[in-house]
Amino acid sequence: MPRMNRIFLVLVLVLSAIPLAKLTGRALDNDITFLQQAMPTEARPGDVVTVTGYALGATHLKEIYLTDGQVDYRVEILEQTDLVVRLRVPAKIPAGQMRFAIVIVRRPEILEQPVFLRVLPVVG
């Protein structure tokens, strides 16, 4: 199965599990950490980007990366709540389409997310 299809399938399963868990009385928002959206969707190195999602607080989310599929660039987290993370795009990151990836507190591996950021070239 192509990689993009697997990521999409996992996202659909996670998002469909949330209402089901709420019906059974279990609050799943605190258990599953994932990113939903980045604003803006284009940024230059050094710019601040806001990312929304679920369980993004420091007790759940440990690190955030931007990845091109081969190289992972760790981003600086400026502000972190359960629903929003503000971060700074790394200064030494090449221009191009990047995907967000996270490390959660309970697991050491990097988990790619279905959220993209287009890094624009440095001006000047």
Is residue 57 a contact partner of residue 104, using CB atoms and an 8 Å limit?
Answer: no
What does the pLDDT look like over 31-85, one tens digit per residue? Answer: 689 999 999 999 999 999 999 999 999 999 999 999 999 999 999 999 999 999 9
What does the pLDDT look like over 13-33, one tens digit per residue? Answer: 777 777 766 666 555 445 689
Residue scoring higher pLDDT (90 or 20): 90
Fold assignment, 33-119? Immunoglobulin-like (2.60.40)
Residue 105 has pLDDT above 50, yes or no: yes
| Predicted structure pTM score | 0.74
What is the reported pLDDT for 117? 97
Omega before residue 40 within 30° of 0, cis: yes
Sorted by where each begins, the domain ranges of the chain are 1-32, 33-119
Read off the pLDDT of each residue in 80-105 and give the average, rounded to a whole number.
96
Read off the pLDDT of each residue in 8-12 and give the average, rounded to a whole number.
76
Residue scoring higher pLDDT (79 or 11): 79
